[in-house]
Structure 1
C-alpha cells in the first residue's frame, strides 16, 4: 500500500504561519509586508537510484523514487521558507511559489520555495 505522505504534502498552520499561493488571504487583512523570503535545497540521488530510474524510463511509468525525493525536497524548502518568515516576525507568506531547476553538472535538483512575508490579522 502506498503511503500518501510519500507522494504529496501540505503545509499546516500549526506552526503559526499561514502560507497561501494567492496575493491576499481571504478573511485576513494584510497589516504589514515584510519582504521576500525563500527556502532552498539541492538534492541528489545515489548512483543506484539513478541507474534504476534510467532503466525505468526505458519502459515508461512513474519514477517513484524520484517522486519521493522531490516531495522531500519541496517539504524541506517549504520548512526553510517558513523559518525565514518567522525570523522576520511574519505570520503569513503570500504568493508562495516553487521553482525547480535540474542541476545536471552537480547531479542534483534545486528546489526553491519563495513568497512574500507578511503580518496578517483576521478580518
Structure 2
C-alpha cells in the first residue's frame, strides 16, 4: 500500500482554503458565515473485524481500519467543503476533526470549522 492510500487533504482545485488556525496569514477575514461541518458514519465489515481481532492478539497496525478511517476523514472533509461553498465561503478557519465510536457498529467522523470570506491583506 502506497502513501497516497493513507493521506488526505483537500484537492488543490477545490477553490477553498482550509486551515486549522484561527487566522490566515496574508489574508483578512471580511465576513464570518458561521459553523460548517461534514459528517459520516462508517460501519466495519466482518473481514476487518476478524482481522482486527487477530491483530490485537499479536500487535501491529490495523491496515484495513486505517484505510477505512482515512476514507471517512476524506468524505467528511468533502462534505465540509460542499457546505462551506454552498454558503458562499472561500475559506474555512479553525478546522478540526472529531472521531467517536457510534456504538459497536461503526465510527463517526466529523470535520468542522468556521466558514469565512477572506481576501488578500
TM range (shorter): over 0.9
**Matches of 2:22 and 2:89, distance apart in 1:** 15
**Matches of 1:5 and 1:115, distance apart in 2:** 25
**Aligned CA-pair RMSD:** 0.9
Aligned position for 2:13:
14
Alignment of 1:1-123 (within 5 A): 2-105=1-104, 107-123=105-121
Query: Structure 1: where are the runs of 5+ without partners?
Result: none
Query: Structure 2: where are the runs of 5+ without partners?
Result: none
Change (3 A) 1:31 1:13: farther
Once the two structures are superposed, what CA deviation does each residue of 1:48-73 show, in whole Å capped at 9, x if it has no partner?
Answer: 21011110111001000000000000
**Matches of 1:13 and 1:121, distance apart in 2:** 18
How far apart are residue 10 of structure 1 and its match?
2.0
How far apart are residue 96 of structure 1 and its match?
0.1
- Count of matched residue positions in the alignment of Structure 1 and Structure 2: 121
TM-score by length of 2: 0.96
